[in-house]
Amino acid sequence: MPELPEVETILRSLEPRVTGRRITSVKVLSPLVANRRPEELVRHLTGQRIHGLRRVGKYMIFDLDSGLMTVHLRMTGRLLYGARPSAHTRVVVGLSRGSLVFDDMRQFGRMEWHAAMPPNITRLGPEPMDVSVTEFCRLLRTRRGAIKPLLLNQTFLSGLGNIYVDESLHQAGIHPLANAAKLSRTKAQRLHAAMVEVLTSAIRAGGSSISDYVDSDGRRGLFQQSHNVYGREGAPCPHCGAAIRRIVVGQRGTHFCPACQKR
DNA sequence: ATCTATTCCTGGCTGC
DNA sequence: TGCAGCCAGGAATAGA
Distance between the alpha carbon (CA) of A11 and the C1' atom of C14, Å: 34
A5 touches strand C (CB under 7 A): no
In this complex, the nucleotide whose C1' atom is nearest to the CA atom of residue A246 is C8
Exposure b/e, A181-194, CB count within 10 A at least 16 = b: eebeeebbbbbbeb
Cα A207 to chain centroid, rounded:
10
Q: Looking at strand B, which nucleotides approach a protein CB closer than 7 A? A: 2-11
Residue A27 appears among annotated catalytic residues: no
Assign A260 a pLDDT band (cuts: 50, 70, 90): very high
Per residue in A217-245, pLDDT (tens digit) is 989 998 988 899 999 999 999 999 999 99
C-alpha to C-alpha distance for A233 and A103, rounded to whole angstroms: 30
Residues 118-157 of chain A with CB under 7 A from strand C are 120, 152, 154
Residue A40 appears among annotated catalytic residues: no
Average pLDDT for A194-209: 92
Tell which wins on pLDDT, A240 or A214: A240
pLDDT number for residue A83? 93
How far CA A207 is from CA of A6, A122, A199, in Å, comes to 5, 25, 9
Residue A197 appears among annotated catalytic residues: no
C-alpha to C-alpha distance for A109 and A241, rounded to whole angstroms: 38
pLDDT for A94 beyond 80: yes
pLDDT number for residue A19? 97
- Compute how many other C-beta atoms are within 10 angstroms of the C-beta atom of residue A138: 12
pTM attached to this predicted model: 0.95
pLDDT number for residue A51? 97
Cβ partners under 8 Å of residue A107, min gap 6: A30, A32, A33, A90
C-alpha to C-alpha distance for A229 and A235, rounded to whole angstroms: 8
